[in-house]
Amino acid sequence: MIGIDGDQGAALRKIHRAAHLDRLARLQREGRLILAGPFSDGSGSLIVLSAPSLAQAELFAKEDPYVTGGVFKSVEVKPFKQIFPAEDFTSP
């Protein structure tokens, strides 16, 4: 999930941050959060999560407090295949 901040993103983040982080913490407890955080240039955020389907990942994105609260002006959800680090990786 790639969220791009709108013009008021920085101000709105302060309002919706606790709810957004609570939601990510729940994903982490469920073992479904791979990584998450803001881009260092302040343009938005990246969330990599495990979901049973693309539709469920899109629903997660749609219901995120940064989406519903207007922090993100746009959100893109793309399927991702993790190669590294591989759980069963063995070096030759």
* 91, pLDDT greater than 80: no
What domains lie within the chain, and their CATH numbers? Answer: 2-76 (3.30.70.1060)
* 90, pLDDT greater than 90: no
**Tokens at 28, concatenated:** 């982490």
Task: Find the distance separating the first CA and the last CA of the chain, reported in whole Å.
Answer: 34
In the prediction, which pLDDT does 26 show?
A: 97
* 89, pLDDT greater than 70: no
- For the segment 20-46, the average pLDDT, to the nearest whole number, is 97
Provide the 10 A C-beta neighbour count for residue 87: 5
In the prediction, which pLDDT does 84 show?
A: 87
Q: What is the pTM of this model?
A: 0.88
pLDDT tens digits, 62-82: 999 999 999 999 999 999 988
> In whole angstroms, what is the distance from residue 15 CA to residue 35 CA?
22
Element containing residue 16 per DSSP (H, E): helix 9-29
In the prediction, which pLDDT does 71 show?
A: 98
Alpha helix (H) ranges present in 1-92? 9-29, 54-63, 65-68
